[in-house]
Structures are given as structure tokens and as C-alpha cells.
Amino acid sequence: MHDTIYSSEKILLKTACGFSNDSLVITFTGYMDQFLPESEGFGEFFFAKNGIDAIHVISKSNEWYQYGEMKDIINIILKYKSSYRNVFAYGISMGAYAAIRYGNVLDAIVIAMSPQYSINPSVMPGETRWLREAHRIFFTEEESVIKNPHKTIVFYDPLQYSDARHVDRIAKDIDICRVPIPYSGHFVAAYLYYIGIISKTLLDIINFKFNINEFMREIHSIEKPARYYSEISHSIMKVDPYTALSFAQKALEMTRDDSSYLYHLSTLYRRTGDLRNAEYFIKKAIECSGSSLHYKRYLSLILIDEGRFDECRELVKTMIRINGQEGEYYYLMALCHAYEGNISAAIENGKKSVSLNPKYKNTLDKLIRASGNRFFF
């Protein structure tokens, strides 16, 4: 039976129970581009299909579960969990952050895939992947160290520098069982899905049959998917972009027209100075993705590289018409004007970009100073 037992502006709590009293899995959703009323809980279909009771905590606003109402949510879950012999907390990325943070009070075995210790820059200096979210979150959970859950199993890519830093920091607070999967990238759960072992892995953990040595042997014996070669490419692109290019090409050959691989290939061609191919592949990515704004943003950078400022401005205007609250679009307009020497227009758009996202302040200040005008906004 599926029921919504709590709903607010920020969070939704759903149950899918009635299968068995053996195990309860509490899932926390990861980052979602857009919440929809019909959005499923993390792994909702999988657990129902396998007859495993679950409670799904669904974040509507990507705020890393920094909600005052989380105490109420946890109290509701505690009432449900009392009738189960075994309790698990499961999530990926943002959801894994919550699973680890609440694992102790839930007395749960935590299954965390690519977790963060915190996205707060004051807690994890150098973490820049979610700065926009970090700037608008009032952090509460980092006021104390993490307390040990019943057990914590962490799946992650040890070669993904940012993720590895978070895992190391988590390990300073609590005992963890590390499951390192090289070249799986940040989306380690997706990688396990692509190689066909995510279901078996989760069921083995829930049924207390998981053996890390057997798991690692199986990982190494499986034929590598396109994502494996793509992650190798990502890991070496800064030090050896040409070799990275060959790995990216192999990944694309295995997937044909996957927009994410087309995009990555475009970034490598741009890095090696081949703007013609960079433009060709990013346009292919836009076509395959259904006009992704993210890929259009990258095309605008290539147009700036080529000095095609009028085309870039027209492209950015179309993006602003779709989403006028994205600071990066005004930043791109500022770049066009600055490179053309139109400093007043650069400043005007720079102010707008900073008002929407403070991370552009230092970059634009340097750009405008380099153009001969010192102006702080």
C-alpha cells in the first residue's frame, strides 16, 4: 500500500508498506532538477517489486534536508520502524548525506552512495559543485559531528577527488565500510545499474549476504561499460587531454548519440583547441537532448572563444527568456561585452549576474580590471 503520510512546501513523506516486517528501508531522494507531484521516492519501484517495505523521504527543494521540520519527519519514521527487525537508510549523493546524518537516530544500517559530509564551503573548503544551493541554505546539521549509525556502507569512486575527500572526512567522525569502485564517477549507483549488479547488491545487503571481497571480484570480472571509459577520460583530461579524448571517443562509440558523452567530447576538443569539432559535438548534444540549456550554455562559451559575440548574445537571450533567474546567463552576456571592450554593458550584466549568484563577483571583477576599469559590485 502506498500512502502519503506527510507533505509540506519543502518535503514529502510516503510509505510503501505491508509486504513484510523483516526489513524496512528508509530512502532519501538525491538532487532533482525539478520536483513533480508524481515524483517517486528513491528506489520506490525496486523495493515494492521485491516485496520490501519502504518509507520514502522526498526533498522538494534540494536543500540537503536542512529543514526545521526534519525532527517531525524523523519522529514519524521512528513510530513506523518500531515493528521491524532490521532498518536500513539508503540514498545517493544528497540523499546519502541525509542517510548518514540521520542513520544514528534511526539506528539504521546505512547504504550511502557518493555521499557528502557537507556542501557548506566553511565546512568543506574547495567544494564548489553546489555553490548556488549552499548560498541559500541555512545549515543546521553541521553543528555537531556525525554519530555512528548501526553500520555504514559507503560506495564511492576513490579517483573522484571531491567524493573521496567527503568520504575521508566522514570517516573521521564514524566507522565506515568503504566499497571503492574506481572510474565509476559520482553517479556510482548508475554505474552499478549499467553493469547489471545494483539489484543484487542491494538485496545482498538487506538479506545480510553482502561480501565485499566477492563484490570486488565480480566488479573486476564484468565487461566495462561506456561510463567506465568516460570516467577515465574525465579523470585524466586535465593532465593528458589527448589520451582523454581517445577514451571519450570509445565511450561515444559504445553509446552512439548519448548527449552527455557528446558534451564531454566537445569539452575535450575545446580544451585541445579544436573549436570546429567542439562546436559540432555540442550542437549534436543539444539536438539529442532536446535543446538542453546546459549544453546551450557551453555552446555560448565556444562562440565567445571564436569571437562570434553577436551569435552568442542571441543564443543567451533565448536562454534568458526561458529562465531569467540564472546568473550564469548574464555572466555570459557580460563576457561578450567585455571582450568587445563595451565595459559599461559588461558592468550592467555583471551586476545582474552577481545579484542572482554571488560566485561571479570575483571573476567579473578580475575581468573588468583587466579591461582597464576597476569596479567593485
| Domain residue ranges in the chain | 2-221, 226-370
The neighbouring-strand residues paired with 178 are 154
Distance of CA 259 to the CA centre of its chain: 17
Q: How confident is the model at residue 374 (pLDDT cuts 50, 70, 90)?
A: very low
In this predicted structure, the answer to whether residue 212 has a pLDDT above a threshold of 50 is yes
The phi, psi pair for 24, rounded to 5°, reads -125, 130
pLDDT, average across residues 343-357:
87
The grid coordinates listed for 132 are: 548556488
The phi, psi pair for 86, rounded to 5°, reads -130, 140
d(CA 298, CA 279): 9
Q: What fold does the segment set 2-221 form as a domain?
A: Rossmann fold (3.40.50)
In this predicted structure, the answer to whether residue 369 has a pLDDT above a threshold of 80 is no
Helical spans, DSSP H, in 50-179: 70-81, 94-102, 131-136, 161-173
In this predicted structure, the answer to whether residue 49 has a pLDDT above a threshold of 80 is yes
Order the strands of the 23-28 sheet from edge to edge: 2-7, 11-16, 53-59, 23-28, 86-92, 109-113, 151-156, 177-180
What CA–CA distances, in Å, run from 76 to 15, 59, 146? 11, 16, 21
Domain over 226-370 is classified CATH 1.25.40.10: yes
- The region, left, alpha or beta by phi > 0 then psi within -120 to 50, assigned to residue 51 is left
pTM over 0.85: no
pLDDT, average across residues 308-331:
92
| Average pLDDT in the chain | 89
